[in-house]
Amino acid sequence: MRARPPCWSAGQEEAASGDLWRDISASVLRVLGGFGLSALVALPLGIAMGANTTFCRLLEPLLALLRYMPAPAFIPLLIIYFGLGELPKVLLIFIGTLFFNTLMIMDAVKFVPRELLETTLTLGGRRRDLLVRVITPFIAPQVLDAFRINMAAAWNLVILAELVAADSGLGKHITLAQRFLRTDQIFLGLIVIGLIGLLIDLSFRMLLRRSCAWAT
Amino acid sequence: MNLVLDSVCKRFGEGRDAQLVLDRISLTMHTGQFLALLGSSGSGKSTLMRLVAGLEKPSSGRLSLDGQPIRGPGSERGMVFQKYSLYPWLTVAQNVAFGMELKRLDRGEIRERTAYYLDVVGLSNAARRLPRELSGGMQQRVAIARALAAEPRLLLLDEPFGALDLQIRESMQEFLYGLWQRTGLSVLLITHDIDEALLLAQQVHILAPRPGRIVQSLSLELNQRDLRELRISAHFQTLRHEVADTLRQLDRDLL
């Protein structure tokens, strides 16, 4: 008989009972919610900060300060304010990725060559055209790359939030396994987390290659 | 087309740190003219070009095109920069079509005119390629085609061949001269390359540095039928040395 790692049979067992799928989908949904929200806010904010010096000077010190506050330190506050449901977890991911997303997008906008913007103006373009037709397509590859990198932070945070307090999710799966000394289950959780992360990373890379072939 | 600059000054900075970059520049230019502004670095020639393009505002003085004061950038004054000005995510054809799309011309017309201007610059075969796949000379030809496709009354060239190798620069100069002859464009060229100014332009204004001002204006009547021939002719060489001496003298005065 071939020897199989114990987490393999743990995986089969979990997959059959449906618990694993429930935990995966809970974690994935939280990441998508929190990160999606963060991306939605970071895009206009980062573009505005990159394109407008006054706006940037106003907000940058604040963002720089907030960026140095570790997101996990917000967990107690989030639990006190929002309880143990989905909201505090989504918000944790939002807080933990917003500043990085915004600053990276801002930087991308700042590096749009001035000649490109001025050429557009001399071709009859207006300010709106600069935003829609020049800045947005130019920064698209850097934005996708920033999202890809910061997505890893989102995964760290969701697991952390679930380790602290949750009734589902991969983090919860691991704490529960710890209580019963089921190292096979812990390894299963870790491997699944790693695989999902890898899958997300690869999909971002593929999206980048497909939509921004000019930059790769 | 009638471009008029009337004692245009430009200062950068304010108060004590204010620096006069252009000092009372006056010039006029008419339809079909090829005019060159020749000066070394610090002569404010790029600033002057940006004023005409509407990308900067003068500190004093007036600029007007066909009687209308220049208030900002507009497609009647097309501009070609030295580099980095092609949209890297668009193909060559899409780059050329860009200005026409901003004007919302209809698809058929855009396609037709794109094909026409690609043909004018000899790049019909490269229509579907991306800018990064092209040589520097080809990229500048795309930039010129894109500016022309917006049908400007005046074409502004800001050291368009400054970043190219010498050989390519010479063939691009011949290309530009041929283009000007064929199309009857009005061209305002900025350059620090004496040969380029003297070979191509009908009129050359020499700018002195710090502050930038016109110190000499030359009207040229050279036999430009064969630029290669002209480059090595004794007459051209003499003229070239005279201008080079003038520029050197201007720079020396600063030291």
Query: Which residue of B84, B98, B146 is in closest CB contact with A115?
Result: B84
Q: Which residues of A touch B150 (CB under 8 A)?
A: 123-124
Contacts of B39 (CB under 8 A, 6+ apart): B45, B192, B206, B207, B208, B209, B212, B247
Burial of B189 (0-12, 13-18, 19+ CB in 10 A): buried
Q: Tell me, yes or no, whether B255 lies in a domain.
A: no
User: What is residue B98's predicted lDDT score, i.e. its pLDDT?
Assistant: 95
| A113 in reach of chain B (CB within 8 A) | yes
Average confidence (pLDDT) over B12-41: 90
Q: What is the percentage of chain B residues whose pLDDT exceeds 70?
A: 99
CA distance B42 to B244: 16
Average confidence (pLDDT) over A34-58: 93
The complex's ipTM works out to 0.89
Q: Identify the residue among B50, B57, B81, B153 best suited for mutation to test binding to A, counting A beta carbons within 10 A and taking the highest.
A: B81
Which chain A residue's Cα is nearest to B156? Answer: A122
Q: Identify the DSSP state of B132.
A: G
User: What is residue B255's predicted lDDT score, i.e. its pLDDT?
Assistant: 65
User: What is residue B249's predicted lDDT score, i.e. its pLDDT?
Assistant: 86
| B14 in reach of chain A (CB within 8 A) | no
Query: Which residue type is seen at A163?
Result: L
Q: Which residues form the domain of B70?
A: 1-76+183-240
For residue A90, pLDDT over 90 is answered with: yes
State pLDDT tens for residues B130-165. 999 999 889 999 999 999 999 999 999 999 998 888
Query: Which residue of B75, B88, B130 is in closest CB contact with A124?
Result: B75
Q: How far is A122 from chain B (nearest CA, A)?
A: 5
Q: Identify the residue among A116, A117, A122 best suited for mutation to test binding to B, counting B beta carbons within 10 A and taking the highest.
A: A122
Q: Identify the residue among A112, A114, A116, A119 best suited for mutation to test binding to B, counting B beta carbons within 10 A and taking the highest.
A: A119
Average confidence (pLDDT) over B89-102: 95
Average confidence (pLDDT) over A126-136: 92
Do the Cβ atoms of B88 and A125 come within 8 Å? no
| B102 in reach of chain A (CB within 8 A) | yes
- Chain mean pLDDT for chain A: 89
Count up the domains in chain B and report the number: 1
Q: Identify the residue among B84, B87, B103, B142 best suited for mutation to test binding to A, counting A beta carbons within 10 A and taking the highest.
A: B87
| B156 in reach of chain A (CB within 8 A) | yes
State pLDDT tens for residues B184-198. 889 999 999 999 999
| B184 in reach of chain A (CB within 8 A) | no
User: What is residue B247's predicted lDDT score, i.e. its pLDDT?
Assistant: 87
- CATH 3.40.30.10 is the classification of domain A8-215: no
pTM: 0.85
For residue A100, pLDDT over 60 is answered with: yes
Average confidence (pLDDT) over A16-43: 91
Q: What is the percentage of chain B residues whose pLDDT exceeds 90?
A: 60
Q: Tell me, yes or no, whether B55 lies in a domain.
A: yes
For residue A130, pLDDT over 70 is answered with: yes
* Residues A81-100: b if buried by 16+ CB within 10 A, e if exposed: eeeeebebbbbbbbbbbbbb
Q: Tell me, yes or no, whether B124 lies in a domain.
A: no
- B249 C-beta neighbours (distance < 10 Å), count: 11
Q: How far is B148 from chain A (nearest CA, A)?
A: 10
Q: Which residues pair with B3 in a beta bridge?
A: B29, B65
Q: How far is B88 from chain A (nearest CA, A)?
A: 7
With a CB-CB cutoff of 8 Å, which residues 165-184 of chain A face chain B? none
The tokens for B92 are: 């060559």
Q: Report yes or no: B97 and B148 within 8 Å, Cβ to Cβ.
A: no
Give the β-pairing of B203-208 and B187-191. Answer: unpaired
Q: What is the percentage of chain A residues whose pLDDT exceeds 90?
A: 56
Q: Tell me, yes or no, whether B110 lies in a domain.
A: no
Q: How confident is the model at residue A2 (pLDDT cuts 50, 70, 90)?
A: low
- Chain mean pLDDT for chain B: 90
| B211 in reach of chain A (CB within 8 A) | no
Contacts of B86 (CB under 8 A, 6+ apart): B95, B131, B139, B142, B143, B146
> Closest by alpha carbon to B216, among B177, B255, B249?
B249
What one-character-per-residue DSSP string does B187-225 give?
Answer: EEEEES-HHHHHHH-SEEEEEETTTBEEEEEEE----TT
Query: Which residue type is seen at A37?
Result: L
Do the Cβ atoms of A124 and B147 come within 8 Å? no
Q: Tell me, yes or no, whether B227 lies in a domain.
A: yes
Average confidence (pLDDT) over B154-182: 89
Do the Cβ atoms of A122 and B146 come within 8 Å? no
What one-character-per-residue DSSP string does A143-181 give?
Answer: HHHHHHHHHHHHHHHHHHHHHHS-SSSHHHHHHHHHHTT
| B133 in reach of chain A (CB within 8 A) | no
With a CB-CB cutoff of 8 Å, which residues 121-160 of chain A face chain B? 121-125, 129, 133-134, 137-138, 140
Do the Cβ atoms of B84 and A116 come within 8 Å? yes
| B34 in reach of chain A (CB within 8 A) | no
State pLDDT tens for residues B200-247. 999 999 999 888 999 889 888 777 777 778 888 888 888 899 888 888
User: What is residue A108's predicted lDDT score, i.e. its pLDDT?
Assistant: 95
**CATH number of residue B24's parent domain:** 3.40.50.300
Q: Tell me, yes or no, whether B52 lies in a domain.
A: yes
Which chain B residue's Cα is nearest to A120? Answer: B99
User: What is residue A3's predicted lDDT score, i.e. its pLDDT?
Assistant: 65
Q: How far is B78 from chain A (nearest CA, A)?
A: 6
User: What is residue B115's predicted lDDT score, i.e. its pLDDT?
Assistant: 94
Residue B159 three-state SS: coil
Do the Cβ atoms of B132 and A214 come within 8 Å? yes
